[in-house]
Chain A
Amino acid sequence: AQKVTQAQTEISVVEKEDVTLDCVYETRDTTYYLFWYKQPPSGELVFLIRRNSFDEQNEISGRYSWNFQKSTSSFNFTITASQVVDSAVYFCALSEAWNQGGKLIFGQGTELSVKP
């Protein structure tokens, strides 16, 4: 069965600290896609990154980086030098290739609080 687990419910850091948000997924599909979204207090989910199962290269975008490891079924997200504006709930999501109609399976989310 497909599942996404974000074991960290809440994380609190002080500004400029680095923080890693964990995501572990389960799927029997060999082709799948992983996503990270950010949900600020306004409620809208903001897309951050998409990764397909055949591309294990890590990615860096400014202060954000992602570590995809198929061997451990993990897709972790690191924020370097965190800022107060990074405070939000972050969701990891999985989409399986066989599922034609774009169903995203979300983890429970990690609430990140960055204090000044």
Chain B
Amino acid sequence: KAGVTQTPRYLIKTRGQQVTLSCSPISGHRSVSWYQQTPGQGLQFLFEYFSETQRNKGNFPGRFSGRQFSNSRSEMNVSTLELGDSALYLCASSFAQGGSQETQYFGPGTRLLVL
């Protein structure tokens, strides 16, 4: 079974631009979560989607948004990029209902550099 895939793997943008990252979950998984990893703040939860609905959101500004499609694939968007948005963005999927007890399986991440 294929794992979680994320595209693109690497991205370079300039301040003020916007970016869209894509995540395809493991087949059969309906919950998708997004995390930001930086050297200073570590791994931080962005948001989680299940059945096209955002169920949970972390403490990030409104510039960070996401959505989930009917096939469970998810995208996240960051508008008006800032230098501090440079990070590794990780997507994770979990089986069925999702929720706190489910194991999340992570993709390889998208490394975003904002210049």
Instruction: Tell me if A104 is interfacial: C-beta within 8 Å of chain B.
Output: yes
Interface bracket on B: 20 to 34
Query: Looking at the complex, which one of A35, A97, A100, A103 makes contact with B103 (CB distance below 8 Å)?
Result: A35
A100 vs B107: C-alpha distance when bound (angstroms): 21
A50, A104, A107, most chain B CB atoms within 10 A: A104
Which of A46, A101, A109 is the most central at the interface, judged by chain B CB atoms within 10 Å of its CB?
Answer: A101
Name the residue in A95, A107, A109 with the highest tally of chain B Cβ atoms < 10 Å from its Cβ.
Answer: A95
With A102-B33, A103-B45: A97-B100 Cβ-Cβ less than 8 Å:
yes
Tell me how far the C-beta of A45 lies from the nearest C-beta in chain B, rounded to whole angstroms: 4
Q: Are B109's CB and A43's CB within 8 A?
A: yes
Q: Taking chain B's interface residues, is the majority helix, strand, or loop, or is none over half, making it mixed? A: strand
Q: Bin chain A's interface residue count.
A: 20 to 34
Contact B99 A101 (CB under 8 A): yes
* Contact yes or no, B55 A50, CB < 8 A: no
The contact string, 1 if C-beta is below 8 Å from chain B, for chain A 19-49, is 0000000000000110101000011111100
| 28 A-B residue pairs with CB within 8 Å | A32-B100, A33-B101, A35-B103, A43-B88, A44-B106, A44-B108, A47-B103, A47-B106, A52-B101, A93-B43, A95-B100, A96-B100, A97-B101, A100-B98, A100-B99, A101-B54, A101-B98, A102-B31, A102-B33, A102-B55, A103-B56, A103-B58, A104-B33, A104-B35, A104-B43, A104-B45, A104-B92, A107-B42
